[in-house]
Structure 1
Amino acid sequence: MHLAQRFREFALREARGNSPLYHRRALDIAADPDILALIAQLPSDKQQPNLILAAARIHGANAVPYTEFREQVAVGWAAIAATAMARRTQTNEAGRAATLLPVLASLPGPLSLIEAGASAGLCLYPDRFSYRYGDIALDPVDGPSQVVLTCATTGAVPIPSRLPQVVHRAGLDLNPLDASDSADRDWLSALIWPGQDERQARLRAACAIAAADPPTLVAGDLNDKISELVRAAPRDSTVVVFHSAVLTYLPPSARAEFRATVRGLPCHWISQEGTGVLPWLAGTLPERDWPSARLVSALDEVALAYAAPHGQSLDWFGVG
């Protein structure tokens, strides 16, 4: 995809309706040949709009209007580019637990959770969060959590009556982040879009939960390490490998390899990826009326629902 179109797509399909500033800013960048020329110096996988915008924020390029922002980017480009090269779009959105929960809770417990592309592992704590699905409230056994996830639903969502028991939490990432490390927390904060104060508060609360009871996080490639993590999980538990908006960053051959690997392991597999990322699901998806980005939630290669990227809604079309 042409770089300008990449920023336009981000503006129209992801930022619009979620962050007015990023919506406008991405459109402005798409129409700015000088800033696009700077970004084009980076490898293609480092030209992601969210990565560039987060790196700019880390280095103080936050001005409004755009004329001042573009000057900040031009002056600080060396540092911005260095951060973009060193970091990844490891948006660790705990809100996605709200769209994962109905699937997780359908499995027999206790659960061992293994997240591919875990970042700081914040989605490994679905049993430590509170949930609000319309007028249905779910809380941990020891009372309401500091992390409260609100999720709008349509369809016959199988909302559980209680949260699952999780006895093992492990994650895998090329560059795992540490919820107790201030620099890693700053980067996670920069990845949250301007105007989304609720997500910032949720991030801080989820980081506190993870820092107090750290998961096992392993550095490595998904296809090299996932078998090792599955086999290390407690044998008297139901092992679940899951991921959200992760395989989109792999080439199709690596996605196919991951599919073959996971399906050969003694575990369940929950995927939440964009509608075109896992082509073997494409023919099973119903038509949808909205233009904004959606993830497809699937269990063991059976598509069940459309999920909003940050867990804010779940549109169920599978068997309840």
Structure 2
Amino acid sequence: MTLRDAFLRQATVCPQLGSPFMGQLCGLLADMLDSPGPVFERMRAWPGDVSAAGHSVPLRLCGALHGLVIDGTAPELAAVYPPNQTDDDALRRAVLAAISTHETRIQAWLDNAPQTNEVRRSTGIIAVGQWLSNRCGLPFNLLELGASAGLNLQWDRMALDLPDVRFGPDDATLRLSPDWTGPLPPQAPVHVTRRRGVDLSPLSIADEGDVLRLRAYLWPDQPDRRARTDAAIKLAHKHKPEVAAGDAAPWLERVLQDLPEGEITFIYHTIAWQYFPQETKERCAAAIVAAGARATENAPLAWLGIEADDQKPGAGMCLRLWPDDVTLNIGRMDFHGRWLIWTPPS
């Protein structure tokens, strides 16, 4: 995919995910790519896959621009960003001026892939967690791959509000209410004994720059996503997540050496697997399968992937269970967790 096509693709996809402004911005940026300057030159010469399935170059640039708006560095740009309304010409002028004026900072943001740590993806994790708890009746040992700031390691502290029923704590400060299709998950108590994650470049909720990155990659005309993320950050300050820095493969090989007795080890990742190098994917899968071969009824293993696949709409929810080594396509979910189609086995 060419760089221009990558921006045009985001211009189409973002409105479908509820962000007309991002559609407008990416469409304009697609027509600016021949502009002079180091930022545009770097993007034009970008090695590898520039699309959302690869290095996500359009979202890197959009996140950098939004960051300038959030922290007040570029007031002229903020004046044409939501909640303000603007026309294409005014937005184009402000964006070009911001890229020229803040070139060094934008270059630094281009160095790193976007990390939204989308909190509503916990919708699918909660549903599967309820199902697993009902099936196994054991506490959870949580392992998240691509955990970012660890916000979705707290899914058991969130509430899933569905018509006439709530899953999760009654006093939960963070409540998720997706459009739900299908039967309801079973009601089952959930207890987590340990929660750990790994990320190549984890973000710290104690670092103001990292928190800015989390907020900047949320789309400017979606304040509800910002509110949920801020609530999850507040929750994480109270219960600090344990997220290791490094490649997922050696970390997973190490932590899976022993499956704790009397617990279900629950591995999961949400819209992260596609960004792993092929060698990392192969080593992670091999480590999980090897651990699955050692799983027992009293030390079971579950592997949930909520990831893009060759079907539409949204992302597939694939659950693999040991000791029986059963693979279940348990549902589909919107990439931002706005809706979920639940299709558990009978």
How far did residue 218 of structure 1 move? Answer: 1.0
> Would you say 1:126 and 2:152 are equivalent positions?
no
> Would you say 1:211 and 2:237 are equivalent positions?
yes
> Deviations 1:38-58 (Å, cap 9, x if unpaired)?
422444465522222111222
1:99 is matched with 124
Residues 1:190 and 1:13: Cα distance change in structure 2 (over 3 Å): same
2:246 is matched with 220
Q: Work out whether residues 328 and 345 of structure 2, in 8 Å CA contact, stay in contact via their aligned partners in 1.
A: no
1:40 is matched with 44
What TM-score comes out, normalization by structure 2 length? 0.80
Residues 1:297 and 1:195: Cα distance change in structure 2 (over 3 Å): same
1:11 is matched with 11
Tell me the amino acid that sits aligned with residue 140 of structure 2. Answer: L
Tell me the amino acid that sits aligned with residue 202 of structure 2. Answer: P
> Would you say 1:114 and 2:143 are equivalent positions?
yes
Summarize the alignment of residues 87-236 of structure 1 with structure 2, pairs less than 5 Å apart. Answer: 87-107=112-132, 108=136, 109-140=138-169, 143-156=170-183, 158-162=184-188, 164-231=190-257, 234-236=260-262
Q: Secondary structure at the match of 1:176?
A: coil
Residues 1:66 and 1:160: Cα distance change in structure 2 (over 3 Å): farther
> Deviations 1:4-31 (Å, cap 9, x if unpaired)?
1111112212443421111111111112
1:302 is matched with 328
Q: Work out whether residues 138 and 161 of structure 1, in 8 Å CA contact, stay in contact via their aligned partners in 2.
A: yes
Q: Secondary structure at the match of 1:125?
A: helix
Q: Work out whether residues 146 and 272 of structure 2, in 8 Å CA contact, stay in contact via their aligned partners in 1.
A: yes
Equivalent-residue separation in structure 1 for 2:180 and 2:21 (angstroms): 27
Equivalent-residue separation in structure 2 for 1:274 and 1:55 (angstroms): 25
Residues 1:100 and 1:312: Cα distance change in structure 2 (over 3 Å): same
Tell me the amino acid that sits aligned with residue 154 of structure 1. Answer: T
Q: Secondary structure at the match of 2:256?
A: helix
How far did residue 253 of structure 1 move? Answer: 4.7
> Would you say 1:311 and 2:337 are equivalent positions?
yes
> Would you say 1:53 and 2:80 are equivalent positions?
no
> Would you say 1:272 and 2:306 are equivalent positions?
yes
How far did residue 197 of structure 1 move? Answer: 1.0
Equivalent-residue separation in structure 2 for 1:299 and 1:21 (angstroms): 35
Equivalent-residue separation in structure 1 for 2:176 and 2:338 (angstroms): 8
Equivalent-residue separation in structure 2 for 1:99 and 1:311 (angstroms): 8
State the percentage of identical aligned residues: 25
Aligned residues: 302
Query: RMSD of the alignment, in Å?
Result: 2.2
Q: 5+ residue gaps in structure 2?
A: 49-53, 81-90, 293-300, 321-326
How far did residue 206 of structure 1 move? Answer: 0.7
Residues 1:232 and 1:201: Cα distance change in structure 2 (over 3 Å): farther
Q: Work out whether residues 145 and 272 of structure 2, in 8 Å CA contact, stay in contact via their aligned partners in 1.
A: yes
Equivalent-residue separation in structure 1 for 2:9 and 2:343 (angstroms): 26
Q: Work out whether residues 115 and 170 of structure 1, in 8 Å CA contact, stay in contact via their aligned partners in 2.
A: yes
How far did residue 122 of structure 1 move? Answer: 0.7
Q: 5+ residue gaps in structure 1?
A: 277-284
Tell me the amino acid that sits aligned with residue 303 of structure 2. Answer: W
Q: Report runs of 4+ in structure 1 exceeding 6 Å deviation.
A: none
Which protein has the larger Cα radius of gyration, Structure 1 or Structure 2? 2
Equivalent-residue separation in structure 2 for 1:216 and 1:134 (angstroms): 33
Residues 1:168 and 1:233: Cα distance change in structure 2 (over 3 Å): farther
